[in-house]
Structure 1
Amino acid sequence: MFSSILLVATALDALNVFTFARAQLSITIDSSLQYQHVDGFGISASFQRAQQICGKYGLSPTNRTKVLDLLFSNTTGASLTILRNGIGSANSSSLDYMNSIQPLSPGSPAAAPFYNWDGSDSGQVWLSQVAASYGVKTFAADAWSAPGYMKTNNDDTQGGSLCGVTNTFCTTGDWRQAYADYLVQYLSYYAAAGINVTHVGFVNEPELHERYASMISNSTQSADFLRVLAPTLKAAGLDTKITCCDAAGWKSQARMLAGIQAAGAESLIGVVTSHGYSSPLNGTLNTTLPVWQTEWSDLHGNWTDDWYFNHTAGEGLTWAVTIQKAFTESNISAFIYWQGAEMTGKNTALIRLAGDSYEVSKRLWAMAQFSRFVRPGAVRIDAEGGNEEVHVSAFTNSDGVVTVQVINNSTNATDIELIFDGGKIPASLKSFLTDNENDLTDLGQVTTGNNGTWESTLLARSMLSFVGV
C-alpha cells in the first residue's frame, strides 16, 4: 500500500513541477467542430479462447473474475464495449477449430437443414452473457468461412469460394441462400440465449488462403452474397447490421469497397470493416458508412508487457499511438484488438493466461486510456496543437463529458496547456496517467492556469487522458 501511495504521489509531483511555468505546448479543443461517431472498443475470444478464459485449462474462478474485470469493468479495467465472436464452420473441434452449427451437408442447398447447437459455441455464449452483465451491448459475429460442403473446395479451410457466386461452379448447386439461412439461424440461437447480435459478417480476410477456416471472396462475389443475405435478414425480422469485409489490410479493404460500390451493393452494408495486418490504416476509406478496425495485433513478436522499451510492435505506447491515429487520421468508429486473453507466447492478446495465472500487457492500458472514457455514442471533436512527438485527440460523450487524450512519444517531458475554445467548456478536469510505472493512475484535478486554461506536464513516453467533470 505504501509503495502505491508513493507511486501516485511521485507522479503527481512530477506533473506539478511546472504548474506555474509557461506551457511549452498549447492544445486547443473545440467541441463545436465534430467528426465521426464512436461505436466502441473491443476484443475477440474466438477459436476457443473463450473457453480458456472460462477456466478450461486451469484459470480459477477468482482469477477468471479478475481477468474479466480487467477487460470489462468500468472502474478497475478497460471497460471494453464490443465483443467479436467467431461463427464456426468446422465439423470438429480439434486444434482450436470453431464448430459449425450444421457440420454435415443436408444433401443439397434445397434440402431441409438439420442444425446441431450445443448451447456453448466454444464458450462464446457464456462470455457474451458475462460481457452483457458488465454492460456490453455490441456483439459482432463473424464467419471465417461457410461450411466446407457449401464451397468450391469442399473444405472450410484453405480458401475456396461460396458455391453460387460469380465465377464458381459446384456440382452440388448454389448454396448462397442456404448460407444466408445458416447465418440467420446462428443469430437466432444467440437471441434465445439472451444475446442480441448487433452485427454479422459473412467472410473474414477474403483475400487469403489459410490452413484454418478461410474463404475467398472478391468484391463481385461479396456483392452477390450481400444481395441474398440482406433480404434474408429482413425477412427474419432482424435489424442486424451486415459488416463487410474484414480484409487483412487497409489497402485490400479499399479495393474491396470500391468493387462493391461499383456493383451497386454498398447500401446493403451497415459497417465497413478492415484489419491492419497486411497494410496498416492509412488515410480514410471512401465511404459515408461507419468504418471499424475489427482485428489487429502484433502476431509475431514475443510476449512483452512493456509500455515503452525500444518502440517494438507489441509495446503499449506503440498501440496507444496506433489507436489514436486510427481515429484521428482514418476516421474509424471502433477499434477491436485481436484476442482479449489467451494462452500465448506472442503479443496476440491483451492478457496472457498460463494455468491459474495471468499477465497483463500495457496494450490493455493503452486501450483503457481511450475505452474507459470514450463511450459508445461519443463523437470525435477538434483537437489541435500536437506535433511529431505529441499526439492529441478529443471526444464528447453523449452525456456531454469531454475527454482529451495526449500522448508524448518523446524522451523529454513536455509542459502543456489545454485551451477549450468553442463548444462546451468543462468546469474542471481530472487526468489519468499510463507509462512504464502507471496503469491508468488517477492523478486527480488538473491545475487551472490563466484565462481559464488547464496546465499539466506530460511525462516522457507517457499518455494522459483528461476527463471533464
Structure 2
Amino acid sequence: MKLIPFFLLSILISTGLTAQIHQTTRQGDRLAKVRELSEIPETEEVRVLSVDPSREFQTLLGIGGSFTESAAEVFYELSKERQAELLKACFSPEGAHYSLTRTHIASCDFSLRNFTYAPVTGDLELEHFSIEPDRTWLLPLIKSAQAVAGADFRILASPWTAPPWMKDNKTWNGGKLLPEYYGVFSDYLVKYIRAYAAEGIPIWGITPMNEPLGNGANWESTHFTPDEMRVLIKDHLGPTLKKAELDILIWIFDQNRDDELIDWTNTILGDEEAAAFVAGTAVHWYESTVSSSGEVLDQVQQAFPDKQILHSEGCIDAMGDDETIGAWLEDDWYWRAEATDWGYIWASDEDKPDHPPYRPFYRYARDLIEGLNHHLTGWIDWNLLLNFRGGPNHARNYCLAPILVDSGRDRIYYTPLYYAMAHVSKFVRPGAVRVGLSGQDDAFLATAFRNPDQSIAVVVFNPLEEDALYSINLPGRPEPMTIRIPGQALQTVVLPAGS
C-alpha cells in the first residue's frame, strides 16, 4: 500500500518542446515520467495513433470529485500537515488539479444524518431557511480547497430530497414533491445558491434532483417522471432563477446512462421552453461495470447537439457486500477482477452480464477515455475521500473513494483510482477541445485533446497483459514518436505547442 502522493515524487513538466510521457502501471509506477524510444525493435508491431487537430468535438468543462459531509468529516480527522498534503494532491497544479466538483444540497447518503435547510413544516416563505448544518464540516472543507494555491474549480450542486414536508410521503426516502410546492422548492434552491455565495462559494450549476428515478427508498430521494421534471423546470425553477438574476446552469436527469435517458431528454429537451433553461444532461455510470454506454450517449448527442452531457457521479460501490472486505487497501486489487457492485446482487438475469466481477482501475480508465470519446464534457467522481471502511455513511451503503484515510492514524492512501483520474485532470484542462484521433480500438483505448495552451494531450490505456508499442503522428511534427506502454498501464502524453 502506497502512502505517498505522486506530486511529491514525479518530475514537473518542463517548459521545453520535448514531449512529456507519464504512466501508471500495475507494477507500481504512479504518473512516473518515461521516455519515447530512440530505437524501434524491428520484430515488434507498432500501433499508429494519428491525431487530427482539424477535427474538433466537445469542449471540456473539467474533471474532479465531490465534496460530501462524510468526506469532510474524515478530512478533519487528519492533522493539519496531512490536510494540507491532501488538498494539494487534489487541487494544486502540482497535484491532480481537479477542475470540476460536486456537492449535495442538504443531506445525502454520504452525510452523517438526515437534515434539511427548511426544517419547519409549512414554512412557505422559507423564513427559517438555514445552511447551518453545513458549517461544521462541509463549508470549511470547500473553503480550504478554494484556498489552495492555483486551485480553480467549479461546483455542481444537487439535492437528494426536497424537505420532507413538501413531499407526498412526508419522509426523507422516496415519495414525490407535491405540485403545490414546486414554486417553494424552486425558492429553496435559490436561497441555497445565495447562501453559499454569501460564504464566498459560487455555485456553477445544479441538477434539480439527484437520481429522480429513485434508489429503492434506501436513502434520501424524491421521485420525478420526465414530464414532472419538465414542468418543474419550465414553469418554476427556470423562471425563478431568471427572476433572481442567477446565471446558474441546469442539468437534467442525474441518473444512469440507460434507455431512460432517451425518454428524459426527448421529453425535456424536446420542449423548447423548458430546454431554454437547460445546459444539458447529467449522467451516472451504475448501469454497467463494463460499458460506458457510448451508444446511448451518442444517441442523445445526435438528437440534441447544442446540449452537453456531463458525468456527475460514479464510484466503486457495494463495499459492504464485498466478501474480501479490506482488500481495497492493496494496490494490486485494483487491477484484479474481484470488485462487485450492487447490480451483481440485484440485477435481473437479463442484465447480469453488465455486472460481473470487474477490475476497478480498468473501470476508471475505460470510462474516462470512452466517456470522453462519446461526448462527455466533464467527469465527476463521487466522494473526494472516505475512511478505510468506505464511510462514514448513515445509510450504510459504503463505497470506495480515490483517496482513503486511516482514521485515527493520520495516514492517507492514494489509491490507483486517484492516479487514473489525475492522468486526465492534470493534463487535460478546462477549455480543452477533443480532437480527431484514429488507431484506437477496444483493446487499445485512447483519446486526444488540444488544451487552451495549444498543447496536445493523448491519454492511452493498454488493458492487455502484454506490452505494446505505439506511435503518435501529429501534423507538423517532423517524425512520429514511438512509445512502449506496459501491459495493464495508463499513459498520458503531452505534446507542447510547436512540437
Whether TM exceeds 0.5 here: the answer is yes
Kept in 2: contact 1:419–1:453 (CA 8 A): yes
2:248 to 240, 255, 261: 240
Per the TM alignment, residue 278 of structure 1 is displaced from its structure 2 partner at its CA by: 2.8
**1:207 corresponds to which letter in structure 2?**
L
1:278 to 265, 274, 287: 287
Per the TM alignment, residue 262 of structure 1 is displaced from its structure 2 partner at its CA by: 4.4
Kept in 1: contact 2:227–2:268 (CA 8 A): yes
Instruction: Identify the range of structure 1 (303-312 vs 81-90) with the bigger mean alpha-carbon deviation.
Output: 303-312
**1:206 corresponds to which letter in structure 2?**
P
Supply the distance in 2 between the matched residues of 1:97 and 1:250 (Cα, whole angstroms).
Answer: 30
Kept in 1: contact 2:100–2:154 (CA 8 A): yes
SS at 1:452's partner residue? coil
Closer, same or farther: CA 15–397 of 1 in aligned 2, 3 Å: closer
Q: Specify the alignment match of 1:78 in structure 2.
A: 96
Closer, same or farther: CA 397–13 of 1 in aligned 2, 3 Å: closer
SS at 1:270's partner residue? strand
Residue 141 (structure 2) pairs with residue 127 (structure 1)? yes
Residue 376 (structure 2) pairs with residue 337 (structure 1)? no
Per the TM alignment, residue 112 of structure 1 is displaced from its structure 2 partner at its CA by: 5.5
Q: Specify the alignment match of 1:416 in structure 2.
A: 470
**2:141 corresponds to which letter in structure 1?**
L
Kept in 2: contact 1:406–1:464 (CA 8 A): yes
Closer, same or farther: CA 459–190 of 1 in aligned 2, 3 Å: same
Q: Once the two structures are superposed, what CA deviation does each residue of 1:408-437 show, in whole Å capped at 9, x if it has no partner?
A: 11111111111013xxx46xxxxxxxxxxx
Residue 87 (structure 2) pairs with residue 68 (structure 1)? yes
Instruction: Identify the range of structure 1 (144-153 vs 277-286) with the bigger mean alpha-carbon deviation.
Output: 277-286
Q: Specify the alignment match of 2:434 in structure 1.
A: 380
**2:441 corresponds to which letter in structure 1?**
N
Kept in 1: contact 2:98–2:425 (CA 8 A): yes
**1:336 corresponds to which letter in structure 2?**
I
Q: Specify the alignment match of 1:269 in structure 2.
A: 278
SS at 1:457's partner residue? strand
Instruction: Identify the range of structure 1 (380-389 vs 131-140) with the bigger mean alpha-carbon deviation.
Output: 131-140
Supply the distance in 2 between the matched residues of 1:372 and 1:216 (Cα, whole angstroms).
Answer: 36
Give matches, 1:121-160, under 5 Å: 121=135, 123-134=137-148, 135-157=151-173, 159-160=174-175
Normalising by structure 1, report the TM-score.
Answer: 0.82
Per the TM alignment, residue 202 of structure 1 is displaced from its structure 2 partner at its CA by: 1.8
Closer, same or farther: CA 83–127 of 1 in aligned 2, 3 Å: farther
**1:241 corresponds to which letter in structure 2?**
L
Supply the distance in 2 between the matched residues of 1:391 and 1:333 (Cα, whole angstroms).
Answer: 18
Q: Once the two structures are superposed, what CA deviation does each residue of 1:425-467 show, in whole Å capped at 9, x if it has no partner?
A: 46xxxxxxxxxxxxxxxxxxxxxxxx52111111111121111
SS at 1:184's partner residue? helix
Segments of structure 2 that go 5 or more residues without pairing to the other structure are: 12-27, 320-324, 340-357, 391-398
Q: Specify the alignment match of 1:117 in structure 2.
A: 131
Q: Once the two structures are superposed, what CA deviation does each residue of 1:219-243 show, in whole Å capped at 9, x if it has no partner?
A: 0110111020111111111101112
Per the TM alignment, residue 17 of structure 1 is displaced from its structure 2 partner at its CA by: 7.6
Q: Once the two structures are superposed, what CA deviation does each residue of 1:50-73 show, in whole Å capped at 9, x if it has no partner?
A: 2221x1xx3111111222222222
**1:332 corresponds to which letter in structure 2?**
L
Per the TM alignment, residue 108 of structure 1 is displaced from its structure 2 partner at its CA by: 5.4
Structure number with greater CO (CA < 8 Å, separation at least 6) is 2
Give matches, 1:42-441, under 5 Å: 42-53=64-75, 55=76, 58-75=77-94, 77-88=95-106, 96-97=112-113, 99-105=115-121, 107=122, 109=124, 111=125, 113-118=127-132, 120-121=134-135, 123-134=137-148, 135-157=151-173, 159-164=174-179, 174-208=180-214, 209-227=216-234, 228-264=236-272, 265-279=274-288, 281-282=292-293, 283=295, 284=297, 285=300, 286-288=303-305, 289-301=307-319, 302=325, 303-304=328-329, 305-306=331-332, 307-310=334-337, 312=339, 313=358, 315-328=360-373, 330-346=374-390, 348-355=400-407, 356-421=410-475, 425=476
SS at 1:96's partner residue? coil
SS at 2:276's partner residue? helix
**1:46 corresponds to which letter in structure 2?**
T
**1:287 corresponds to which letter in structure 2?**
F
Kept in 2: contact 1:48–1:122 (CA 8 A): no
**2:65 corresponds to which letter in structure 1?**
I
Normalising by structure 2, report the TM-score.
Answer: 0.78
SS at 1:333's partner residue? strand
Residue 480 (structure 2) pairs with residue 459 (structure 1)? no
Kept in 2: contact 1:296–1:338 (CA 8 A): yes
RMSD: 2.7
Closer, same or farther: CA 120–300 of 1 in aligned 2, 3 Å: closer
Supply the distance in 1 between the matched residues of 2:226 and 2:114 (Cα, whole angstroms).
Answer: 26
**1:335 corresponds to which letter in structure 2?**
W
Kept in 1: contact 2:67–2:142 (CA 8 A): no
For these two proteins, the number of residue pairs brought into alignment is 419
Supply the distance in 2 between the matched residues of 1:222 and 1:121 (Cα, whole angstroms).
Answer: 30
Per the TM alignment, residue 102 of structure 1 is displaced from its structure 2 partner at its CA by: 1.4
Kept in 2: contact 1:89–1:156 (CA 8 A): no
**1:161 corresponds to which letter in structure 2?**
K
Q: Once the two structures are superposed, what CA deviation does each residue of 1:117-156 show, in whole Å capped at 9, x if it has no partner?
A: 3273552222222232342331111001110001111112
SS at 1:298's partner residue? coil
Kept in 1: contact 2:337–2:359 (CA 8 A): no
SS at 1:30's partner residue? strand
**1:327 corresponds to which letter in structure 2?**
L
Supply the distance in 2 between the matched residues of 1:94 and 1:41 (Cα, whole angstroms).
Answer: 20
Segments of structure 1 that go 5 or more residues without pairing to the other structure are: 165-173, 427-450
Supply the distance in 2 between the matched residues of 1:207 and 1:4 (Cα, whole angstroms).
Answer: 43
Per the TM alignment, residue 94 of structure 1 is displaced from its structure 2 partner at its CA by: 11
Supply the distance in 2 between the matched residues of 1:398 and 1:179 (Cα, whole angstroms).
Answer: 39
Q: Specify the alignment match of 2:343 in structure 1.
A: none
Supply the distance in 2 between the matched residues of 1:14 and 1:374 (Cα, whole angstroms).
Answer: 20
